[in-house]
């Protein structure tokens, strides 16, 4: 398993446990398992993994579906891979939710990830 995929899986387990959300449900019902399998086989960068999970799991009918477990999971994943001083930027999260509410395209989310985390 590629390191960026393994980190995502560890963060997902941690967040699910802390939030009381079944990890198996996340992986199967939300489609995260398929995303991670493709990310591993095609060696996706972390930004693409994060953007794909958000686009596929957090946007329905062109709006954020309030799946906070997934949102927190992706934010913690990015914070683990790209540590920033001062923790998670509140304005960045507000901007992300606005992107998700505007349809949350893969490209828009990935641009947000790159501009806020990838150095």
Tell me which residue has tokens 């086989």: 41
1, 40 in Cβ contact below 8 A?
yes
Orientation angle between helical segments 90-101 and 106-116, nearest 10 degrees: 170
pLDDT digits (tens, 9 = 90+) for 26-63: 999 888 999 999 999 999 999 999 999 999 999 999 89
Tokens (6 digits) for 93: 């999260």
- Please state the pTM of the whole predicted model: 0.92
Half-sphere exposure of 35 (CA within 13 A, CB side): 25
Residues spanned by the domain of 70: 3-116
Q: How many domains does the chain have?
A: 1
- Tell me whether residue 2 is exposed, middle or buried, using C-beta atoms within 10 angstroms of its C-beta: 0 to 12, 13 to 18, 19 or more: middle
């Amino acid at each position: 398993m590629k390191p960026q995929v393994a980190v995502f899986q560890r963060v997902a387990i941690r967040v699910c446990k802390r939030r009381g959300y079944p990890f198996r449900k996340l992986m199967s019902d939300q489609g995260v398992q398929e995303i991670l399998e493709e990310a591993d086989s095609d060696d996706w960068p972390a930004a693409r993994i994060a953007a794909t999970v958000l686009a596929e799991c957090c946007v329905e009918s062109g709006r954020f579906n309030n799946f906070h477990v997934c949102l927190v999971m992706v934010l913690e994943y990015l914070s683990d891979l790209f540590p920033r001083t001062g923790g998670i930027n509140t304005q960045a999260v507000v901007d992300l939710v606005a992107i998700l509410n505007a349809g949350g395209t893969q490209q828009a989310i990935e641009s947000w990830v790159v501009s806020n985390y990838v150095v």
